[in-house]
């Protein structure tokens, strides 16, 4: 199992990323406003399950890499940390501009809830950016230890931490699905809050990445 510190760090990073408007949030919002609250909930659950499927697949693939290429463990740890810092800096750099964007949701074609649910899974699983995110995000939080005796432990760490990422997105997606049009108005009106949240999220990601190596906490 991963350490409590690693689980908290991954959960914080996931919350920081999911709290700001992005493709997944807009997908749920479009279904809620364009069709119904139940359709928004179906899309949110589909995205979550798709994220878990992708997390499991990525975790198993990374575990195999860790087992056969010891040097990749260290390399991915530093590349992953750099990726976290890049995400944080990118959020901060775009905070002001993104906060000024007015979100709009158009009417969508009505679909049965089962179709929306499966579409959410497919959207998440086939998103190349999400695949890249999991591949670079998870390694820095893994304690590989003795690779000859800890293969199962590494796999379990990757599975648990990978599953935490889509699970931490569920609260914000459910709020969006439940509030719908009201959420759109709040997001568009509270531009200063959106900018502040982007700054806070970016700083959290940078802080987590630095703490992995400097051990502030």
For residue 127, is pLDDT > 80? no
Mean pLDDT over each residue of the chain, to the nearest integer: 79
Confidence of residue 179 (pLDDT cuts 50, 70, 90): confident
Q: How far is CA 26 from the centre of its chain?
A: 14
Decide if 28 is inside a domain. Answer: yes
- Distance between CA atoms of 122 and 81, rounded to whole angstroms? 28
Decide if 146 is inside a domain. Answer: yes
Q: What is the pLDDT of residues 75-101, one digit of tens each?
A: 888 888 898 899 889 888 887 776 666
Mean pLDDT (whole number) for 20-31: 76
Q: What is the pLDDT of residues 130-177, one digit of tens each?
A: 777 888 888 888 876 544 445 557 788 888 888 888 888 888 888 877
- Distance between CA atoms of 197 and 215, rounded to whole angstroms? 25
Decide if 217 is inside a domain. Answer: no
- Distance between CA atoms of 86 and 69, rounded to whole angstroms? 25
Highest-scoring range by mean pLDDT, 34-38, 66-70, 175-179, 203-207: 203-207
| Number of separate domains in the chain | 1
Decide if 65 is inside a domain. Answer: yes
Decide if 100 is inside a domain. Answer: yes
Tell me what pLDDT residue 147 has: 47
- Distance between CA atoms of 213 and 31, rounded to whole angstroms? 41
Scored b (16 or more CB within 10 A) or e, 32-63 reads bbbbbeebbbbbbbbbbbbbbebbeebbeebb
Decide if 216 is inside a domain. Answer: no
Tell me what pLDDT residue 49 has: 92
Greatest CA span in the chain, whole angstroms? 55
Torsions phi, psi for 215 (to 5 deg) = 55, 60
- Distance between CA atoms of 172 and 125, rounded to whole angstroms? 19
Domain ranges, residue 135: 4-211
């Amino acid at each position: 199992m991963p350490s409590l510190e690693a689980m908290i760090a991954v959960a914080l990073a996931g919350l920081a990323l999911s709290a700001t408007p992005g493709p997944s949030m807009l997908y749920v919002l479009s279904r809620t406003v364009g069709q119904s609250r139940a359709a928004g909930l179906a899309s949110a659950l589909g995205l979550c399950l798709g994220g878990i499927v992708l997390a499991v697949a990525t975790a198993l693939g990374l575990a195999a890499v860790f087992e056969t290429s010891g040097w990749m463990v260290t390399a991915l740890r530093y590349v992953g940390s750099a990726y976290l810092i890049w995400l944080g800096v990118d959020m901060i750099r775009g905070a002001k501009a993104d906060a000024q964007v007015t979100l709009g949701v158009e009417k969508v074609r009505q679909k049965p809830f089962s179709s929306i649910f499966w579409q959410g899974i497919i959207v998440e699983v086939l998103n190349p950016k999400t695949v890249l995110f999991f591949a670079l995000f998870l390694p820095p939080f893994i304690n590989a230890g003795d690779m000859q005796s800890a293969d199962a432990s590494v796999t379990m760490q990757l599975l648990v931490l990978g599953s935490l990422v889509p699970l931490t997105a569920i609260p914000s997606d459910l709020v969006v699905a439940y509030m719908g049009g009201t959420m759109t108005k709040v997001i568009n009106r509270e531009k200063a809050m959106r900018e502040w949240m982007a700054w806070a999220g970016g700083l959290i990601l940078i802080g987590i990445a630095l703490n992995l190596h400097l051990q502030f906490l």
